[in-house]
Amino acid sequence: MAGIIDSLKYRFNNAPVLKQLIYINVAVFVAVHLVSVILLLFNIDTKTWLSYIEVPSDLNILPYRLWTILTYMFVHYDVWHILFNMLWLYWFGEIFIQYFSQRHLTALYFMGGIAGAIMYLLSYNIFPYFADRQGMMCGASAAIMAIVFATTLRTPDYKINLMFIGSISLKYIAGVTILIDLLSMTSPNAGGHFAHIGGAIMGIIFGWFWNKGKDILRPINGFMDKIVTLFQRPYIRIKKPKISRQKSDENKRRSRPESDEEYHMRKKRENDEIDRLLDKIKKSGYSALTTEEKQKLFDVRKNNPTHNG
């Protein structure tokens, strides 16, 4: 048993962020439903304990369960609920990380989920339609909608192959998705659709600022780094031999990780160059590329494989 746990921990720690998010969602789903089954065997109502991990629409309850604004985005009702959400997260997450970093994926997932919770709470406490209604919400949909719309803002004409439909651009998929949510704001799952809209708005805001050259998630990533540091093991400092100042500065330049600005600028240069090569292929064909350009295109595609759903 210990070997299985160690193997799972190793796989999780060495998996990319996208897969880690999926693993967490699946693990929470299994744990929640296992506990629910055990409680039902003793005729204990499961709704009571689930209310401590789902977002309540009642503002009188929320202050005592603030953590639900984070936990709800990892909880799902049934197999179909988590299946479709994880498929969407995987498909659009794969495209997202071609244009942004994995750090941005994590931060936007949480910010999209939080924005969805806020929109859900506002809808239930502003519109008279919900005056005599109370609800609980869970699911990763709002967080995923943020990723969908941020990706669409960055590359609206990116095409995905859909079964029975064929090749279709992201902008049309996003447009149809948000239209369904707008038309469903008075449906039995009205709160969920409002949350989707909140997540979409967060993704649009991030994507819009990114296209303007601003990374609004940078403070969020910095905060998350500090949180992670709190749980890291302390390390022992080893006294290193002194080296010359000139050599030390050179080593720092070589060994230090990229800053967010440097990463952003490098990705933008790479994306601009690929766009130029693709335009050249579109106008003159693949044979018009030089040997160096072909190699560059091959290297980028090898390091950033596309995914066609």
pLDDT at 65: 95
What are the φ and ψ backbone dihedral angles of 285, each rounded to 5 degrees? 90, 160
Nearest to 90 by CA among 201, 15, 165, 167: 15
150 near 96, Cβ under 8 Å?
yes
Determine which of 104-118, 178-192, 278-292 has the lowest per-residue pLDDT on average: 278-292
| Banded model confidence at residue 303, pLDDT cuts 50, 70, 90 | low
From residue 194, alpha-carbon distances to 51, 63, 176 in Å are 20, 21, 15
- CA-CA distance, 207 to 213, in Å (whole number)? 10
| Banded model confidence at residue 274, pLDDT cuts 50, 70, 90 | confident
Q: Which residues contact 269 (CB under 8 A, 6 or more apart)?
A: none
Determine which of 29-38, 129-138, 250-259 has the lowest per-residue pLDDT on average: 250-259
| Helix, coil or strand: residue 258 | coil
Share of the chain above pLDDT 90, in %: 57
Determine which of 16-30, 239-253, 295-309 has the lowest per-residue pLDDT on average: 239-253
| Banded model confidence at residue 11, pLDDT cuts 50, 70, 90 | confident
Instruction: Write down the architecture of domain 2-227 according to CATH.
Output: Up-down Bundle (1.20)
- CA-CA distance, 101 to 93, in Å (whole number)? 11
Q: Is the pLDDT of residue 231 over 80?
A: no
pLDDT digit string, tens, across residues 168-208: 999 999 999 999 999 999 999 999 999 999 999 999 999 99
Domain limits of the chain? 2-227, 233-303
From residue 229, alpha-carbon distances to 76, 127, 216, 226, 233 in Å are 29, 42, 22, 5, 8
- Reported residue count of the chain is 309
From residue 303, alpha-carbon distances to 89, 92, 295, 296, 300 in Å are 20, 17, 12, 11, 5
- CA-CA distance, 153 to 145, in Å (whole number)? 12
Structure tokens at 20: 């880690």
pLDDT at 112: 97
Q: What value does the mean pLDDT take over residues 263-277? A: 74
pLDDT at 244: 52
